[in-house]
Amino acid sequence: MLDNNDLLMEMQRRMLRIRRFEERVIQLVERGEIVGAAHSYIGEEAVAVGACLALRDDDWITGNHRSHGHPIAKGGDVNKAMAELLGKSTGFCKGKGGSMHLADFSVGILGESGILGSSIPTAVGAALGSQLQGNDRVAVPFFGDGASNEGAFHESLNLAAIWKLPVVFLCENNQYAVTSSFKKMVASENISDRAAAYNIPGVLVDGQDVIAMYEAVSEAVARARAGEGPALIEGRTYRYFDHSLGLNRIVRDPYREDEEVEHWKQRDPIIIHAKLLLSQGIATQVELDALESEIAAQIDEATEFARQSPYPEPSALFEDMFANPIPLE
Amino acid sequence: MLDNNDLLMEMQRRMLRIRRFEERVIQLVERGEIVGAAHSYIGEEAVAVGACLALRDDDWITGNHRSHGHPIAKGGDVNKAMAELLGKSTGFCKGKGGSMHLADFSVGILGESGILGSSIPTAVGAALGSQLQGNDRVAVPFFGDGASNEGAFHESLNLAAIWKLPVVFLCENNQYAVTSSFKKMVASENISDRAAAYNIPGVLVDGQDVIAMYEAVSEAVARARAGEGPALIEGRTYRYFDHSLGLNRIVRDPYREDEEVEHWKQRDPIIIHAKLLLSQGIATQVELDALESEIAAQIDEATEFARQSPYPEPSALFEDMFANPIPLE
Amino acid sequence: MTQVQTETRDITLTQALNEAMREEMRKDERVFIMGEDIQSGVYGASGGLAAEFGPERVRDCPLSENAFMGAAVGAAAVGMRPIVESAFCFMWVAMDSLVSQAAKMRYMFGGQVNLPIVYRASLYYGGSMAAHHSDRSYPIFMHIPGFKVVFPSNAYDGKGLMKTAIREDDPVLFCEDRTILGSRAFVPEDDYAIPLGVADIKREGSDVTIVAIGGMVPRALDAAETLDREGVSAEVIDPRSLVPLDKQTILDSVAKTGRLVTVDMAHKTCSAASEIAAIVAMEGFWSLQAPVQRLGTVNVHIPFSTALEPLCYPTAESIADAARTTMS
Amino acid sequence: MTQVQTETRDITLTQALNEAMREEMRKDERVFIMGEDIQSGVYGASGGLAAEFGPERVRDCPLSENAFMGAAVGAAAVGMRPIVESAFCFMWVAMDSLVSQAAKMRYMFGGQVNLPIVYRASLYYGGSMAAHHSDRSYPIFMHIPGFKVVFPSNAYDGKGLMKTAIREDDPVLFCEDRTILGSRAFVPEDDYAIPLGVADIKREGSDVTIVAIGGMVPRALDAAETLDREGVSAEVIDPRSLVPLDKQTILDSVAKTGRLVTVDMAHKTCSAASEIAAIVAMEGFWSLQAPVQRLGTVNVHIPFSTALEPLCYPTAESIADAARTTMS
Ligand SMILES: Cc1ncc(C[n+]2csc(CCOP(=O)(O)OP(=O)(O)O)c2C)c(N)n1
Ligand SMILES: Cc1ncc(C[n+]2csc(CCOP(=O)(O)OP(=O)(O)O)c2C)c(N)n1
Ligand SMILES: [Mg+2]
Ligand SMILES: [Mg+2]
């Protein structure tokens, strides 16, 4: 088992950073400081963190609508993330993207897509770039169980497979697409089974176990860097909250049992990993408490930063459409 | 082995009808009587005939750009088919469809799509209709190896699988998409392997053996009628001519070896089946010769019918857009 | 439509659409709905229908829009009458089924098949949903022959137009504008259908013609109020269907007023507003006394920030300004 | 452009596009091509490039347009400069990658990324290819913000515009009209680029302005010849790029002639011709002395039969008629 203590602590740090960030987001949504649609990543932290810590800073990721966790896991700036959610000019995207379109190209985050499956080909293209440029940068598209039913999934896996591109397809199977269970919507038992159709490895991983995620992705990344082609990894996980914050107000029929939700909360990735850190003597309770306060301070600072930041000027409306601008009306 | 002699003769009749029809089409293209793009089905006859003879008249099929064979195999009127290819008002589609859009709803031919993969969801929808209407009509979409790389393939197989729809997906793997070998373009070894991703049967069949095609499709159809859901059948076959008639003029580099073409011509489905009919004493050479002249007469008649038929009137231009017409400019 | 104010039974556009679908599904068992999470009624108008009609006729679909929107074509071809619930932003992935099959099939097969399908397309603009979720791409479906394009601006029209759409034997693209889904109007309980291709004059006037679509209609009516106070009498026309388009009502109005403002929430270039402006420049030219004013969404994608998004769309104020310009 | 006639080195538009790609690929190794069967050069303009640049830079793709057109976005985002060869009819299956990613990415991410991509889109109309293979849907890409839309009408413009397109740091939709791909014009061997947004006056005239696009330009020039014999002096303007559109050249011409005919091979409704008519009705209204004439493809899908297809498109004769109408 993994014996890099700094790495094991960093896993906890990033998972906790995501958790506390998302808890703050919930407050800000309730307060009306964050508008539009916000999809909570709480419960799924181990997937993004395990995967992103298996990557280099210069590797690429793409995300989806539920993507506050991915940029944080990849090392994106929390201040800019929070500012973006508040629509401020200091955000990743100058306030133009918001919750579903976080992106930080400076740390390899090629951006998130609110349209399902849409950013999977983008990641394949980044990997094609690596191949053409002769470097070994790997691309990891994050997408859900529901998105694996989009045609883009099929086309992308086949394309990456025949060209042996360095892509690790990462399906976050939180078992529901809005109210639809993947058991009803996905014909195969596991999404990882679909790898067989492309002659690539398909691995089902416990998405609540950050170390398991880290190891599975590390192996796939090693293969990809070695030019052996793509892999499909399914992180079996769970979202604690409704599909999007506030949606429970309009979803009429319950689509999952309270017992099920409870069962999964018992397998909370952050608690599991904390127990391990303590039991293995990698961290003391005091150190974990210190981590808590470190993160709390970061989130407070990010919130302050976002609140203090200015909104974009009206003149920003027509900026950023083109690298080589043209008259726009 | 199949001991229905009428059926075995009908197989030969329909394969021959397609072959002679297509040979005539080649002449008419060279003469300039058929314009636009025409894709020859010669060499692949056993796939359509074996499959369609496993269907009832009230079952549904959809086709693609290489679809002169499918309607003939399903029992479509050869006169109307030829008239359509000549753009005459007596054609299946009154001359509006042409070679890539033959359709005869009266015998269950829901039409052909020039856009790859496009008619696969259509067939799935027809099967959904059967399920909702409580009948047992089966739908068979024909598509190529190349089209199996379209997203529509993936989405359709998953949809049919989770809803247990009566669909038999029929991939005609003639091993090339224009100049591209499926070995380079399809990540799995066989296209039938892709069925695994949808938990449905996937069967690789010798597409030059009309009886093998008939039996494989019959079995899948029986399952489908019984409500046990879809199957994917790959008919491994070969086209003797270039992707589309006349294309050899512009395809610069050879993309397949003459030996390969010769090898497959040695496995001609019509010769194979003729030998069987003779060796099993199901038909005499005299009867086969009679069949030849019967077909020759049909094709001559179809050609005459098409030639004598009038072109559509200019007034037809604005007809057929809507069931409930609106002013059109 | 003035009775709307006076009458009693006011319901929202969402409720009106729901009512229309419910009544038609009761009358005709060939009618069924496909969409994502419609059994739980997440997105409104299909709410409660699963309870009455069951999961077979109110079908939750996987996230495979190209397949299920294409399956609607096949189902229609064999005698069913599907309603598909979706949104413009989710239709890009399904464009091939919509264009190559739904729109082209009948003509290319020489009229052998009718395709009674209603594609319900939500517009989520105006709610900080950002670039991916704010599409308003109905002009694309006006450009592509084969769809009838319907766009109600209130609950009363919504129910009557939805009934017509469901009974239509052709593919209908039915636009549902979230900025007005919650707006209430008088909706009779009885069965009524509003024909396609018949514009409605929402307000009569004599100085300037304002043609507005969907959610732009209430804004145009507000503008007309303002203009009225300034002594400018604006006529507000709601086409209600864009294909077929009731050109005559627009041309007659311009013949009366001599001035035209076209208002659209789609991007300006090649928009419905452009088309209407072009039609009047061709067929109503001699009536025009001032340049046509075309209003639409600016040609950038929809930004998330509340500091920017509101700057994108026409407003009552910008509509009034455009009208004033035609008067000066 | 009059030198075209006089000069020696006449090559086809296909050859000119091939030459432009070849020269740019030699100069910049980040440029590569993706498409279907392009190594064998089935569809013309990429012919022979694989022999020089190899299968890595001239990549045959599987029939997965949404994936490879989306992969172009990812490759561009990490520093490559992809050219994608396809056709309008095959882009429906890829609309999501084109719209949600290529067109929206830069703006929605606040300008963090440049996407230097050339999407080459063939138009196969006019060759009995029927409904599925005759799409001319560039107005859709004018409506959707984020693309620069380029449409050459001859070999000379083709080479210069393709070079600009390849050097552009934004997504370019490059239209290749098969009705003129074989037409020859003088094309200098040397390196020249034609800026976007600069219309070209293909023929000067004083009585009526004819704005024509791509394959409609030669038809408009034929019409101008006919009109000339009748004593009507027509000015023929080729926008060359539709986004950005050189409004000023069109408005200046109309200011001179007072009459406008817009000609487009796309379907009439919400077409480029509609947009140009609308612009002139807004900004050139006071110059207009007669109703605008808009010509385009009739609003039906393209029928296969040679007895019907030719009736769909504007012709030199119908253009001349429209011009005569503006004169009467
Ligand atoms: C193409 C498309 N269809 C529908 C939607 C609406 N939608 C947004 S998120 C979502 C569910 C996605 O489920 P999944 O992929 O499992 O991701 P999760 O939300 O569970 O993380 C749906 C249907 C969309 N954004 N894009
Ligand atoms: C979506 C789409 N992309 C590209 C084409 C152009 N095209 C027509 S046929 C063809 C090859 C099809 O190969 P396959 O599916 O194997 O069928 P085959 O021609 O071998 O019978 C291609 C690329 C098309 N018609 N549709
Ligand atoms: Mg999910
Ligand atoms: Mg093939």
User: By the CB < 8 Å criterion, does C68 face chain B?
Assistant: yes
* Integer angstrom CA distances of residue B139 from B77, B168, C66, C77: 20, 6, 18, 12
A311: how many CB neighbours lie within 10 A of its CB? 16
Q: How far apart are CA D257 and CA D239, in angstroms?
A: 17
Which of A140, A155, A164, A198 to mutate: most D Cβ within 10 Å? A155
Active site residue C133: yes
Average pLDDT per 10 consecutive residues for chain C, totaling 328 residues: 57 97 98 95 82 96 98 98 98 98 98 98 97 98 98 98 98 98 95 98 98 98 98 98 98 98 98 98 98 98 98 98 97
User: Which candidate, D33, D8, D7, D1, places its Cα nearest to that of D20?
Assistant: D33
**For residue D38, what is the nearest residue in chain B, using CA coordinates?**
B179
Residue A3 pLDDT level (bands cut at 50, 70, 90): confident
Pairing of strands B180-181, B176-177: antiparallel
CA atoms of C190 and C194, how far apart (whole Å):
13
CA count, 13 A, side-chain hemisphere, D7: 14
Tell me what the mean pLDDT of segment D75-100 comes to.
98
Distance from CA of D261 to the nearest CA of A (A): 24
Burial class (CB within 10 angstroms; exposed 0-12, middle 13-18, buried 19+) of B318: middle
Q: How far apart are CA C240 and CA C199, in angstroms?
A: 6
- Is C157:C193 a contact under the CB 8 Å cutoff? no
% of chain C beyond a pLDDT of 70: 97
Which atom of ligand 1 lies closest to the CA of A143? 15
Buried (b) or exposed (e) across C118-137, using 16+ Cβ within 10 A? bbbbbbbbbebbbbbbbbbb
Supply D108's token pair: 């929605």
- Which C residues in the span 250-289 are in contact with B, Cβ-Cβ below 8 Å? none
Whether B187 and A193 lie within 8 Å, measured CB to CB: no
Per-residue pLDDT of chain B (329 residues; tens, 9 = 90+): 678 999 999 999 999 999 999 999 999 999 999 999 999 999 999 999 999 999 999 999 999 999 999 999 999 999 999 999 999 999 999 999 999 999 999 999 999 999 999 999 999 999 999 999 999 999 999 999 999 999 999 999 999 999 999 999 999 999 999 999 999 999 999 999 999 999 999 999 999 999 999 999 999 999 999 999 999 999 999 999 999 987 765 555 678 999 999 999 999 999 999 999 999 999 999 999 999 999 999 999 999 999 999 999 999 999 999 999 999 99
From C132, C133, C143, C301, the catalytic residue: C133
Cross-chain CB nearest to C281 (options D130, D292, D304): D292
Segment D290-311 mean pLDDT: 98
What SS3 state is found at A91? coil
Question: Cβ–Cβ of D110/A129 closer than 8 Å?
Answer: no
Decide if pLDDT at A154 tops 90. Answer: yes
Distance from CA of A294 to the nearest CA of D (A): 29
Q: Which of B262, B255, B248 is nearest to B185 (CA)?
A: B255
Q: What is the pLDDT of residue B97?
A: 98
- Residue D5: which pLDDT band, with cuts at 50, 70 and 90? very low
- Does the pLDDT of residue D41 top 60, yes or no? yes
Amino acid found at C235: E
Is residue A252 over pLDDT 90?
Answer: no
User: What is the overall mean pLDDT for chain D?
Assistant: 96
pLDDT value at residue D1: 38
Burial of C8 (0-12, 13-18, 19+ CB in 10 A): exposed
Nearest Cα residue to D149 out of D271, D282, D235? D271
Which of these, D213, D214, D234, lies nearest to D225 by C-alpha position? D234
Pocket of ligand 1 (CB under 6 A): A 65-66, 114-116, 144-147, 174, 176-178, 243; C 36, 63, 65, 90, 93
pLDDT digit string, tens, across residues D279-289: 999 999 999 99
Does pLDDT of A4 surpass 90?
yes
Q: Which residues of A47-75 are buried (b: 16+ CB within 10 A; e: fewer)?
A: bbbbbbbbbeeebbbbbbbbbbbbbbbbb
| Residue A152 three-state SS | helix
Residue B307 has what pLDDT?
98
Going by C-alpha positions, the residue among C242, C278, C63, C59 that lies closest to residue C147 is C242
The pLDDT value recorded for residue B252 is: 56
Q: Identify the pLDDT of residue C47.
A: 87
Cβ contacts of D54 within 8 Å, gap of 6 or more: none
pLDDT at position B1 is 60
- State the pLDDT at residue B251: 59
CB contact under 8 A, A162 and B188: no
**Residue A78 near residue A17, CB atoms below 8 Å:** yes
Residue B184 token pair: 């380079």
Identify the CA nearest to C93 among candidates C127, C126, C137.
Answer: C137
pLDDT score of C1 = 38
How far, in Å, CA of A283 to CA of A3, rounded? 13
Region A51-73: mean pLDDT is: 98
Buried b (16+ CB within 10 A) or exposed e, C245-257: bbbebbbbbbeeb
Residue recorded with tokens 């793997």: B173
Mean pLDDT of the D233-239 span: 98
Work out the pLDDT band at D2, boundaries 50, 70, 90.
very low
In sequence order, the β-bridge partners of residue B236 are B173, B206
A181 in Cβ contact with A175 (< 8 Å): yes
Return the pLDDT at A249: 58
End-to-end, the C-alpha distance of chain C in Å comes to 31
Contact B166, B138 (CB under 8 A): yes
**What distance in Å separates the CA atoms of residue C193 and residue B156, rounded to the nearest whole number?**
35
Separation CA A155–CA B151 (nearest Å): 6
Query: Which of D132, D133, D143, D267 does the annotation list as catalytic?
Result: D133
How big is the CA angle at C92 (ends C89 and C94), to the nearest 5 degrees?
120
What was the pLDDT predicted at C8?
74
| Cβ-Cβ contacts under 8 Å, D171 against chain C | none
Nearest one of D64, B118, B160 to A154, comparing CA atoms:
D64
Mean pLDDT within A267-293: 98
SS3 A76: coil
Q: How far is the CA of B230 from the centre of ligand 3 (A)?
A: 25
Burial of A190 (0-12, 13-18, 19+ CB in 10 A): middle
Beta strand spans in chain B (E): 60-63, 109-112, 139-144, 168-173, 176-177, 180-181, 202-206, 231-236
Which residue among D66, D89, D304 places its CB closest to the CB of B98? D304
Helices marked H in chain C: 3-6, 13-27, 49-57, 65-77, 95-96, 105-108, 138-143, 155-167, 216-229, 247-257, 272-283, 316-327
What size, in residues, is chain C? 328
Is the model's pLDDT at D40 over the cut of 70?
A: yes
Supply the pTM of this predicted model: 0.98
What percent of chain D clears pLDDT 90, i.e. is strictly above it? 94
Instruction: Choose, out of A118, A167, A311, the residue to mutate when testing the contact with D (most D CBs < 10 Å).
Output: A118
The predicted structure's pLDDT at residue C5: 47
